[in-house]
Amino acid sequence: MVLRPGFFLLFNLLGVLAWPTQFPERTTPSELLDPYPHKPRITFKDDGTLKITVFSDLHFGENPWDVWGPQQDSNSTRVMKRVLKDENPDYAVLNGDLITGENTFRENATRLIDEIVAPLNAARVPFSSAHGNHDNQVNITHAEEIAREQQVAPLSYTRFSAPGVGGEGGAGNYWVPIYKRKSDNAPYLIIWFFDSRGGVTPQNKPAADWVDASVADWIESETKLMDEVWGPGEQRSALAFVHIPPHVMQPVQKTITPEKNPGLNADVLGTGSAQSTSSTSPPAQDTPFWDSANKNIKNIVAFISGHDHGNEWCAREPTKDFVFCFDKHSGYGGYGDSSWGYGVRNIVFHAPGNGKGKPKVESWIRLEEGQTRAHVWLDHTLGH
């Protein structure tokens, strides 16, 4: 339950002093839709724009017993500092595989979160995280990373999945409201974060590598509540982050071209590259999530994934007609090739001048040194 000073005062004025037992048992719908009562509202800038910068696959903590592992981490910190200074984003996203959990120690694994969030804390940039298969390992879990992040990053908007939602290892399904102006009654954009799990359980058993079916029902009930309180979903935009790409993207890779889908395309999507495709997974287990997201969330500008470090392209998935983009590998850790470079994906929303209607959204890759490439508009022109 959310406790607000104003509410408490009102109760006192009414002479209801037996706090807290006199509070209503259930939170109201508008309270359920105000998940950050004690944090600043995230808003567009006065000029009607919002810039989101996505760091992906940072892979901190590799081989701490060698020289190169810690060097990689300090290189990744350098990338983050430089990019945050140059880009000055309104919001940042860490899109999974923050940590290479295979190399961590039970007693200090979450200390890596402190290192990862330090540049974001210093730059005072609000942000939140999705989690990846390397964040679920014997000595680390998504839930442990989230708890630590909440503890050490005052501007973290990362939340835990609602009770019963997300399945084993899927602790991070949530959304973040973004408002056009601070005083608006309803958000203009909802950023959704879905937990595609993967990796191994703390008992060293393979973990399911797809968004759990329980998330499908949760999406339906959350969007229903949003429609009731804020008005029809068509009035809002949405953007979605999920670390492992949905399995439906696998065949799409065969249809892309460098002209229509600019950006590095160096990772062929094979076993384990997309959700529910690893050797231990039955196929297409992400379908309930996928169907529910596409049906219930209106105006999804794009689904954004990392995981496949050699891919940067955006493409349109034809059967459900949505836009999908890969991130840019940001960390010096994790597999890769130095010729691929390290960087971020930027996403910029432009709200229309009259304050009504859908935003125009552009996106591109920015490399560590400042070079940019693969610019696209995330709209009907993409892939045509």
Ligand X SMILES: *[C@@H]1O[C@H](CO)[C@@H](O)[C@H](O)[C@H]1NC(C)=O
Where along the sequence are the contacts to ligand X (CB under 6 A)?
Answer: 64-65, 68, 71-72, 75, 105-108, 111-112, 138-139, 332
Least distance (Å) between residue 196 CB and ligand X: 21
Give the up-direction half-sphere exposure of residue 262: CA atoms within 13 A in the CB hemisphere: 12
Q: Please name the amino acid found at residue 382.
A: L
Residue 167 CB, nearest approach to ligand X (Å): 22
Report residue 213: phi and psi, to 5°: -60, -25
Shortest spacing between CB 367 and ligand X, in angstroms: 11
- By beta-carbon proximity to ligand X, the closer residue of 105 and 335 is 105
To ligand X, the closest distance from the beta carbon of 76 in angstroms equals: 9
Residue number with CB closer to ligand X (90 or 368): 368
Instruction: Please give the residue whose beta carbon sits closest to ligand X in the complex.
Output: 105
- Residue 12, Cβ neighbours under 10 Å: how many? 11
- How far apart, in whole angstroms, are the C-alpha atoms of residue 43 and residue 123? 17
- Sign of the C-alpha dihedral computed for residues 272, 147, 60 and 243 taken in this order: positive
State the nearest-atom distance from the C-beta of 52 to ligand X, in Å: 26
Of 234 and 369, nearer to ligand X (C-beta) is: 369
Sign of CA dihedral 161, 58, 249, 381: positive
> How is residue 155 written in tokens?
């501007």
Residue 71 or 280: the one with the smaller Cβ distance to ligand X is 71
Whether the Cβ atoms of residue 325 and residue 314 lie closer than 8 Å to each other: yes
Burial status of residue 215 (CB atoms within 10 A of its CB: 0-12, 13-18, 19 or more): buried
CB of 113 to ligand X, least distance (A): 9
Q: How many other CB atoms are found less than 10 A from the CB of residue 312?
A: 26
Q: Which of residues 291 and 337 has its CB atom nearest to ligand X in the complex?
A: 337
For ligand X, the closer of residues 106 and 356 by Cβ is: 106
DSSP secondary structure code for residue 372 in this structure: E
